[in-house]
Amino acid sequence: MASGRNGFPRGPNLRNSSSFKSKLPPSSAVRRSSPGALGAGADAVSGRVRVAVRLRPQNAEELEADADFADCVELQPELKRLKLRKNNWDSDTYEFDEVLTEYASQKRVYEVVAKPVVESVLEGYNGTVMAYGQTGSGKTYTLGRLGDEDTSARGIMVRSLEDIFSNISQETDTVTVSYLQLYMETIQDLLNPANDNISIVEDQKTGDVSLPGATVVEIRDQQSFVELLRIGEAHRFAANTKLNTESSRSHAFLMVQVRRSVLGRENDFTSEHDVSSNGVNNFKPPIIRKGKLVVVDLAGSERIHKSGSEGHMLEEAKSINLSLSALGKCINALAENSAHVPVRDSKLTRLLKDSFGGTSRTSLVITIGPSPRHRAETASTILFGQRAMKVENMLKIKEEFDYKSLSKRLEIQIEKLTAENERLQKACEDEVERIKLEAQKQISEAERDCAEALKEEKMKCQMDYMESIKQLEEKWMLNQTKHASNGFIGTSHAAEGGMPSGNDEVSELKKLLQNEVQQRKAAELEIKNLKDCLLKSMKPELAGGNADIFNLQKMLEEESQQRKKLEEEVIVLRHQLSQLTLEASQTTSCPDRSRTGNGFVGLDSVSSLRHLQFKDASDGERPSISNLHEKVGLHKILSLLESDDPNVRIHAVKVVANLAAEEANQEKIVEAGGLSSLLMLLRSYEDETIRRIAAGAVANLAMNEFNQELIMAQGGICLLAMTASDAEDPQTLRMVAGAVANLCGNDKLQTRLRSEGGIKALLGMVRSRHPDVLSQVARGIANFAKCESRAATQAFANLGTKHGRSLLIEDGALPWIVQNANNEASLIRRHVELALCHLAQHEVNAKDLISGGALWELVRISRDCSRDDIRALACRTLTSSPTFVAELRRLRIEV
């Protein structure tokens, strides 16, 4: 027994150390007591059961009863020694881990006995604090005091929980409590007394002992724990009363499970907020540490030795004996490293399996009283403590992965991600749809633009192509002509370029021209001389015939009388005329309608030239003129046209011209021989005005088909042609051209008109460049071409004969036509376009049109002409003529 005297501290526990893996012990106490564990393993560390002895102060009864006796124990706290008196002269000395005197405060007891255990529990180890001692020695005082009135009296249970609560996180950690008592091998639930037969379940694998039937209450604060303890104590008291027993006969177990989420705070699902950056690797399950603190208030140890007398007490004593002696046996076996530890002998040892020889950090407080009367009990208690100090536990951290929480969190995460994914997918689909629509829109726009641009480009290309082909053709033609004229000069010159030979030609032509001019001048001079000679030779002849002279003088007298009469009439007429002229000049302030008002809008030959009128003879005059001719008589007015007086002639012609502007007068004028007189006036070179007015009158008369024939019959075309070549005034030319243009519209007169120089006269007038003149020329050409075309068609239809080449082409009108086919003035352009179309209708003209460059214009007309009918005509012509079709194919031009 005395061997325990120096049982502390001990060396390394060789039995266990070999199996240890390196891990720092949870507290310095462990390190100190079991240095062998250092640097060994990771899983477990050696942790000896620590034992403190606490001496209760003498109570009132002892003070009295033991007054004459010395205490049986003597404490040496600074040496952590206890002396147990054997007799008056001898004592045994024991060392403990802690020696707590009767003056030790509850606080100090807690710090020495329980605090290291509580700290271990907070770190995830199991921990046991157990009190062992005789009834009345202060076990309950040490463990279970609530300290309601005096907080300094609070026992280990209350202080442990206080410590736990101040060290855990309310968010991630939980504390659950069960409170039970073991009485006669029956486990009763102190939190639910009805639950009075709780069975122990052992995990075969881990050896863990649990009580699944016990009430587990989660507590969140100290106050609710104290309440729970109070309830438990009340139930314990009630249960013991009912069983007619005492609390000292049962073992009380307080079990506190502390569940802490270790990585929960630092490492816990940052991925929730930032999944992508942390990735899947961060989905490590959180680690849960489950430390369990067991506080055991054993039944009084004296029961081991005392057997009850009979009945129930006997059974009870047996039972208490059984469990406490089983505990002693186990402690002995563990202390001696015995191979067999009889844990299964009682429920107490089964419940304490982990506390002694298990993984728990265990702290035992043995309580003793000072009284020598209980010396034996005290000695037994001390020996129990000494043996317990030899028990080595293997502290093992209780931690596990919190898969449940991980899976829950992952589920939430998955749900979140699924929702996010759905949202993104929807957004993506929407975006794709939007882009698709946008793209389709852009594609169709681009296609449209492209088609338009293509069309435009094609058109432009065709035009460019046409232009270049045209130029090449022209060059080629020019070369051909040059070759033809140069003849044998050969190709060597052509290769050098035509310029030198062209210059030679020009200078040669200039020379020729100069010669011609000189010759002409010489001829004129000769004619003048001859005229003079003729006059001189005629004079002697006149002097010779006296008889004839007498007759002549008589006739002269008659004539002069006649003349006098006429002169009187003339005076009257002149007076009337001057009055009319005055009236007319007053009305000239009215707008000049002769040019603008007439508007040669139509293209038909006869009707298109409305009454050509003059500035000095406006509408306002006509009634007076009508009156005049009624008053004076048309014959007389016409006769005045031949008056010697130029003024009279001018006035007369104005009157006649204005009369001729009225369709109603035209017939009368012609009947009275007015047409002949007007034509005669065209001969007079000296007065431009007379010629202009006369030509206008003729033009007006030429609107009528009958008159046209008459004009032709009287050689009018020659006169008009003469005037055309002599006159300079654009208005005169305009009138002449108008007259000829009207004549051009007569089918019957075509051949004659041309043979008498009508077409040449028209073409000659283009030298004027005045648009009014050009417009009449164009109209004439268009009229002529139309009649020609009509005649050709009829000839072919009636007789099947083919008409010859166009007289217009014969007379060299084509270059001008081609040049003016795109004239800026729309009126000219339209006449010329129409003329071209008529010419092009006959295959016989096709070759000339092509070589004359008219094909290009026809193509242009077929594309650009603003008049639908002309455009269609050009198109039809181009596609129906085999010559044109072939040429266009050769030039690769599409119509």
Interface residues toward ligand ADP, by CB under 6 A: 56-57, 59, 133, 135-141, 248, 300, 367
Complex with ligand ADP: residue 160 or 248, whichever CB lies closer: 248
For ligand ADP, the nearest residue by Cβ is 138
Q: Which does 357 bind (CB under 5 to 8 A by kind): ligand ADP, Mg ion, none?
A: none
Q: Which does 137 bind (CB under 5 to 8 A by kind): Mg ion, ligand ADP, none?
A: ligand ADP
Q: Which does 264 bind (CB under 5 to 8 A by kind): ligand ADP, Mg ion, none?
A: none
Q: How far apart are CA 791 and CA 787, in angstroms?
A: 6
Q: How far apart are CA 713 and CA 707, in angstroms?
A: 9
Complex with Mg ion: residue 132 or 856, whichever CB lies closer: 132
Which is it for strands 127-133 and 287-297: parallel, antiparallel or unpaired? Answer: parallel
Q: How far apart are CA 256 and CA 545, in angstroms?
A: 182
Q: Which does 291 bind (CB under 5 to 8 A by kind): ligand ADP, Mg ion, none?
A: none
Burial label, 448 (beta-carbon count in 10 A; 0-12, 13-18, 19+):
exposed
Complex with Mg ion: residue 145 or 353, whichever CB lies closer: 145
- For residue 577, what are its two tokens? 């005329």
Q: How far is the CB of 395 from ligand ADP (least distance, A)?
A: 28
Q: 365 near 129, Cβ under 8 Å?
A: yes
Q: Which does 56 bind (CB under 5 to 8 A by kind): Mg ion, ligand ADP, none?
A: ligand ADP
Q: Which does 738 bind (CB under 5 to 8 A by kind): ligand ADP, Mg ion, none?
A: none
Q: How far apart are CA 657 and CA 649, in angstroms?
A: 12
Q: How far apart are CA 796 and CA 802, in angstroms?
A: 6
Complex with ligand ADP: residue 26 or 369, whichever CB lies closer: 369
Amino acid at 292: K
Contact partners, residue 131, CB within 8 Å, separation at least 6:
139, 140, 142, 143, 296, 297, 298, 364, 365, 366, 367
Q: How far is the CB of 133 from Mg ion (least distance, A)?
A: 9
Q: Which does 27 bind (CB under 5 to 8 A by kind): ligand ADP, Mg ion, none?
A: none
Complex with Mg ion: residue 298 or 675, whichever CB lies closer: 298
Q: Which does 127 bind (CB under 5 to 8 A by kind): Mg ion, ligand ADP, none?
A: none
Q: How far is the CB of 117 from ligand ADP (least distance, A)?
A: 20
Give me the phi and psi of 674, to 5 degrees please: -65, -35
Which is it for strands 361-368 and 174-183: parallel, antiparallel or unpaired? Answer: unpaired
Complex with Mg ion: residue 135 or 319, whichever CB lies closer: 135
Give me the phi and psi of 825, to 5 degrees please: -75, 120
Q: Which does 789 bind (CB under 5 to 8 A by kind): Mg ion, ligand ADP, none?
A: none
Q: How far is the CB of 397 from ligand ADP (least distance, A)?
A: 33
Q: How far apart are CA 637 and CA 677, in angstroms?
A: 11
Q: How far apart are CA 871 and CA 382, in angstroms?
A: 136
Task: Give the other-Cβ count within 10 Å of 646's Cβ.
Answer: 13
Scan for tokens 């031009």, then name that residue: 893
Q: Which does 59 bind (CB under 5 to 8 A by kind): Mg ion, ligand ADP, none?
A: ligand ADP
Q: How far is the CB of 140 from ligand ADP (least distance, A)?
A: 3
Q: How far is the CB of 90 from ligand ADP (least distance, A)?
A: 27
Q: How far is the CB of 274 from ligand ADP (least distance, A)?
A: 57
Torsion 158-164-166-170 (CA) sign: negative
Q: How far is the CB of 181 from Mg ion (least distance, A)?
A: 11
Complex with ligand ADP: residue 313 or 648, whichever CB lies closer: 313
Task: Give the other-Cβ count within 10 Å of 264's Cβ.
Answer: 18
Q: Point out which residues pair with 130 in neighbouring strands.
A: 296, 364
Q: How far apart are CA 439 and CA 424, in angstroms?
A: 21
Q: 115 near 106, Cβ under 8 Å?
A: no
Q: Which does 133 bind (CB under 5 to 8 A by kind): ligand ADP, Mg ion, none?
A: ligand ADP
Complex with ligand ADP: residue 302 or 616, whichever CB lies closer: 302
**SS3 state at 221:** coil
Tally of CA atoms within 13 A in the half-sphere of 581 that contains its CB: 13
Q: In the complex, which residues of this chain contact Mg ion (CB under 5 A)?
A: 139-140
Q: How far is CA 5 from CA 80, 93, 94, 141, in A?
A: 12, 6, 5, 28
Q: How far is the CB of 68 from Mg ion (least distance, A)?
A: 28
Q: How far apart are CA 608 and CA 348, in angstroms?
A: 142
Complex with ligand ADP: residue 317 or 814, whichever CB lies closer: 317
Q: How far is the CB of 306 from ligand ADP (least distance, A)?
A: 14
CA 776, 778, 780: angle at the middle one, nearest 5? 70
Complex with Mg ion: residue 154 or 692, whichever CB lies closer: 154
Task: Tell me whether the omega of the peptide bond preceding residue 9 falls within 30 degrees of 0, making it cis.
Answer: yes
Task: Give the other-Cβ count within 10 Å of 275's Cβ.
Answer: 17
- For residue 755, what are its two tokens? 């043979």
Q: How far is the CB of 187 from ligand ADP (least distance, A)?
A: 20
Q: 218 near 178, Cβ under 8 Å?
A: no
Complex with ligand ADP: residue 139 or 734, whichever CB lies closer: 139
Q: Name the strands in the sheet holding 81-87, side by side, starting at the edge strand that comes first in the sequence.
A: 73-76, 81-87, 90-95
Which is it for strands 361-368 and 127-133: parallel, antiparallel or unpaired? Answer: parallel
Q: How far is the CB of 85 from ligand ADP (least distance, A)?
A: 20
Q: Which does 462 bind (CB under 5 to 8 A by kind): ligand ADP, Mg ion, none?
A: none
Q: 364 near 130, Cβ under 8 Å?
A: yes
- For residue 778, what are its two tokens? 């164009």
Contact partners, residue 758, CB within 8 Å, separation at least 6:
717, 720, 721, 740, 743, 744
Q: How far is the CB of 267 from ligand ADP (least distance, A)?
A: 46
Q: How far is the CB of 270 from Mg ion (least distance, A)?
A: 51
Complex with ligand ADP: residue 127 or 144, whichever CB lies closer: 144
Complex with Mg ion: residue 183 or 600, whichever CB lies closer: 183
Complex with ligand ADP: residue 140 or 789, whichever CB lies closer: 140
CA nearest to 661, candidates 622, 690, 631: 622
Q: How far is the CB of 138 from Mg ion (least distance, A)?
A: 8
For Mg ion, the nearest residue by Cβ is 140
Q: How far is the CB of 138 from ligand ADP (least distance, A)?
A: 3
Q: Which does 136 bind (CB under 5 to 8 A by kind): ligand ADP, Mg ion, none?
A: ligand ADP
Complex with Mg ion: residue 157 or 836, whichever CB lies closer: 157
Complex with Mg ion: residue 139 or 754, whichever CB lies closer: 139
Complex with ligand ADP: residue 299 or 870, whichever CB lies closer: 299
Q: Which does 165 bind (CB under 5 to 8 A by kind): Mg ion, ligand ADP, none?
A: none
Contact partners, residue 784, CB within 8 Å, separation at least 6:
744, 745, 750, 753, 759, 807, 808, 835
Which is it for strands 287-297 and 251-261: parallel, antiparallel or unpaired? Answer: antiparallel
